[in-house]
Structure 1
Amino acid sequence: MGADLISIAKSGAAAARAALDLTAQNISNASSEGYVRRTLTVSELAANSGAASPTAINLAGVRITGVTRNADVFRQAEVRRTGADAARASAEVQGLENIEAAVEQTGVYNSIVAFEASLQQLVSDPTDGSLRAAVLEQGRTMAQTFNVAASSLDAVGEGLRFEAQDGVDEVNRVAGELARVNLRLSRASDASSDQTTLLDQRDSLLEQLSKHVNVTATYNQDKTVSVTIGGTAGQTLVAGGTASTLAMATAADGTISFTLDGSAATISSGGLAGRGQALTQLADTRSQLDALAANIVSVVNAAQANGVDLAGNAGQALFSGTGAADIAMIATGASAIATAPSGAAAGSRDPSSLSALRAALTAADPAGTMNTLLFTVSSAVAGRTVTRDALSSIASTARIALQAQAGVDLDEEAVNLVRYQQAFQANGRVMQVASDIFDSILGIR
């Protein structure tokens, strides 16, 4: 009986010591990013009773069956999915805000209004030199604001593409690390401490990937993971110890696309998708700005060609360029403005050509077009901001739910320390009692 008690107490003490070690590990890693709380799993140890009753089973203590990570696969998948959506929305809003600043803060709208106002003032005295000079100056300022806006949009595009390329590099780095973790997991002992550490690394790498791209994880029997991009039917990014290579290509309009080992890849979520969407909006905004600048050049130069300048010469083009980046005032003097109709004498005060120019600008409505462009961008920013806030809230809720399950509660661990310490001491006491009983039996005369 004493020997049986000793073996039972020994197994209990070993389990209590292992539980104490895990509790200490949980406490020391309570604030570690990606750490999942561990618990010890044990089962009853049974043994045959002996020759008298060979089929009877007696309990003979406990045995350690493994270490359990308190992480739910579904909740982890939700954290990745909602986190990817939030990252996409956040990246898109940041890009749109930069686009809005580029077209609004450069003052293109105000410069167009000022140019049209200077033409209206010139109608009162078409031969006045100061009014003519004001028209040229306002036209030059308008052209320069278009140039600055185009340059600012180019800078926004370069920044977004740089961040996207950095994201692609990060995806390739993390995918490579995940492939190496898969190799180590395939060789790790089942339910070992090394395996649980590798599983933490695996899940942390998956979460890092989800910040950049939408990934779907499939867990294999050996605890390794296969990762696809673009849903369950997408392309394989990681399989076993092999990682595919993600690459980015830039189109002529500045938009981006992705390939995985040379094949076109669809990325619908994560930071890369958000930056791709922002670049699409940027290309559309730049196209509209170029069209507006080209329209102003066309309208003004067409009106000039139908009139004569202050010296009675045929009107020449005031602007050059085909878009916002290269529009420029090319008139060298205030007399170059063709305010009078064709055939008028030098110094004519007839503003027919100027009136035709103003009518053409009114019909083209460049100020209204620019205002619509600004409103479109601002509305996109406002709408995407609401979406971003909602998705961020959902992602936060999913993360809190996972943390409640997988995180370390220091109060609970403190209770476990006391409980497992008492269990260890109790098993030690059982061994002492068993020893005393055995000694007593030996001492019988």
Structure 2
Amino acid sequence: MAADLLTIASSGARAAKAALDVTANNISNASSEGYVRRSVTVTELGVNSVSTSPTEINLAGVRVASVVRNADTFRQSEVRRTGADAARADAEVQGLENIEAAVEQTGVYDSIVNFEAALQQLVSDPTDGALRASVVEQGRSMADTFNVTASSLQAVGDGLRFEAQSGVDSVNSITAELARVNLRLARSSDASSDQTALLDQRDLLLQNLSDQMGISTSFGTNGVVTVTLGDSSGPTLVTGGTGSTLAMTTASDGTISFTLDNAAATIDSGALAGKSQALTQLATTNDQLDALAAKIIDTVNAAQASGVDLDGNTGTALFSGTGAADMAMIATGGDAVATAAAGSAANSRDATNLTALRDALSSADPAGDMNTILFGISSAVAGRTLTRDALASIASSAKVALQAQAGVDLDQEAVHLLRYQQAFQASGRVMQVASDIFNTILGIK
């Protein structure tokens, strides 16, 4: 039999009510992190005609086909990829800036220059007690500055490693949660409200995971995701209800490496990669600083052994240690500075050995080496900052493109709210008209 007005109107009311519910849900979750805008898709509802024409179809209103999440998987993948690159660059720049601050703010360069200046002043009167004491104190200050710089760099490294370990813990927590979401998605009914909520949760977890490391994804039935590290050929992070375990190992030089289920893993993007790169630069800076401190120690102590001190004794070492962290001034007074040539008498005004010491330091050029270290770090910071800003701009553009599709526009939702409300009222009016018609027919005598 032909479809009646009441059937058509009631189906329209149900569809309008479902659309109103979805619109209201969009509005209430407009600022919720990870929420993807929903929309209702409806299809025409057809019924068979009378038995004499079984193939004839009459329209009998509409039905709600599904609730659709307005998210493009390609755009989501681009947001994750560009976001991982931006996170790597940002983490690396932050680490490099901390290294730069640790080296510059402690004033190693100035302390080296001041020590050399004190030696130059001593040339004017090699027996002057105040000038000799100044050399020792400037040397002590220089050694202390090296110690402080090494300690500051150690603190930077500790901070980076702590953040990296926190990132590893976060990755393991996310992969475990993704595995649980996969299991729930596999059991959820298609296009249900529970499934759409799980899909939102899945996408948010994937976004958080990509902030720590670069990932590739593939999606199966019901939205179940398989995640690999790096590209699609990389080791598996999540498959079905199983998540792999990421671990971090610290080398003797402070650099870090990663394993995935006890197998070596390479992380090329994400915050973990940025921190690893910053720690590599930190290890290089530590090596350069240790080499510089060792050069100063060896140069000064070698020159000391070639001359005699103020008491006419063979010069002894002024510094101890092998690097920046343990460098120390061991002379107790200015008399220990060996200014005179070997064989000179006590209180000699001969400055031959002092001149040799100054020449050796000039040839070693520790101030120039320190300036090179500072310039290298500053150049790295400047270059990486440009890269970070460019990658951040690309990532921002990808997010804007996704937000335009998946985000909630309150103005547009207000229009939809009015539209579906009017559709609901119209369906109600149709039912009222149908009721009036039937009552009129029934009242005919």
TM range (shorter): over 0.9
- Kept after mapping to 2: 8 A contact 1:2/1:437: no
In the aligned structure 2, how far is the partner of 1:310 from the partner of 1:418? 98
Partner of 2:40: 40
- Cα distance in 1, alignment partners of residues 230 and 402 from structure 2: 24
Q: Which residue of 2 aligns with 1:412?
A: 412
User: What are the superposed Cα offsets for residues 289-322 of structure 1, whole Å, 9 maximum, x if unpaired?
Assistant: 0000001000001111111111111111110000
SS of residue matched to 1:356:
helix
Question: % of aligned pairs identical?
Answer: 73
1:20·1:420 contact (CA, 8 Å) conserved in 2? Answer: yes
Contact 1:2 1:434 in 2 (8 A): no
1:163 aligns with 2:151: no
1:369 aligns with: 369
Offset, 1:2: 8.4
Q: State whether residues 2 and 435 of structure 1, in contact with CA within 8 Å, keep that contact through their aligned partners in structure 2.
A: no
| 1:440 Cα offset (Å) | 3.3
In the alignment, the residues of structure 1 paired with residue 364 and residue 142 of structure 2 have an alpha-carbon distance, to the nearest angstrom, of 16
Q: Is the 8 A contact 1:230 1:267 kept in 2?
A: yes
Give, in whole Å, the separation in 1 of the partners of 2:49 and 2:434: 19
Deviates more, 1:151-160 or 1:173-182: 173-182
1:381 match: 381
Task: Give the Cα–Cα distance (whole angstroms) in 2 for the partners of residues 428 and 336 of structure 1.
Answer: 105
For residues 165 and 426 of structure 1, the distance between their equivalents in structure 2, rounded to whole angstroms, comes to 60
Structure 1 residue 3: deviation in Å?
5.9
1:155-304 alignment, distance < 5 Å: 155-304=155-304
Q: Give distance in 1, aligned partners of 2:53 and 2:433.
A: 27
Cross-structure match for 1:64? 64
CA distance in 2, matches of 1:129, 1:222: 86
How far the C-alpha of 1:7 sits from its partner, in A, is: 1.2
For the Cα contact (< 8 Å) 1:290–1:322, is it kept in 2?
Answer: yes
Give the secondary structure class of the aligned counterpart of 1:211: helix
Distance 1:429 1:367 in 2: 90
Question: Could you tell me how far apart the structure 2 residues matched to 1:30 and 1:214 are?
Answer: 28
Which residue does the alignment assign to 1:340?
Answer: 340
Report the Cα distance in structure 1 between the residues aligned to 2:254 and 2:118, rounded to whole angstroms. 36
> Is the partner of 1:61 in helix, strand or coil?
strand
Matched, 1:305 2:327: no
Alignment partner of 1:318 is 2:357? no
Distance apart, 1:78 and its partner CA? 1.1
Deviations 1:96-142 (A, max 9, x none): 11100111110100000000011111111111111111100100000
Gaps of 5+ in 1: none
Partner AA of 1:232 in structure 2: S
Tell me the residue number matched to 2:327: 327
3-state SS in 2 of match to 1:371: helix
2:139 corresponds in structure 1 to 139
Q: What's the Cα RMSD here?
A: 1.2
Report SS of the residue matched to 1:177: helix
Shift of 1:327: 0.5
Aligned residues: 445
Secondary structure of the structure 2 residue equivalent to 1:272: helix
Counterpart of 2:109?
109
Q: TM-score, normalised by structure 2?
A: 0.98
Unaligned runs of 5+ in 2: none
The TM-score normalised by the length of structure 1 is: 0.98
For residues 333 and 199 of structure 2, the distance between their equivalents in structure 1, rounded to whole angstroms, comes to 75
CA contact (8 A) 2:312 2:346 kept: yes
Which position in structure 1 is the counterpart of 2:427? Answer: 427
Instruction: Provide the rounded CA distance (Å) in 1 between the counterparts of 2:149 and 2:417.
Output: 64
Aligned partners of 1:302, 1:30: CA distance in 2, in Å? 72
1:437 is matched with: 437
SS at 2:4 equivalent: helix
By how many angstroms is 1:232 displaced? Answer: 1.0
For residues 38-67 of structure 1, what are the alpha-carbon distances to aligned partners after superposition, in whole Å with 9 as ceiling and x for unaligned? 000111112222222222222111111110
- CA deviation after TM superposition for structure 1 residue 444, in Å: 3.8
TM-superposition CA deviations, 1:147-196 (whole Å, max 9, x none): 00000000000000000001111111111111111111111110001110
Q: Once structures 1 and 2 are overlaid, which stretch shifts more, 48-57 or 134-143? A: 48-57
CA contact (8 A) 1:2 1:438 kept: no
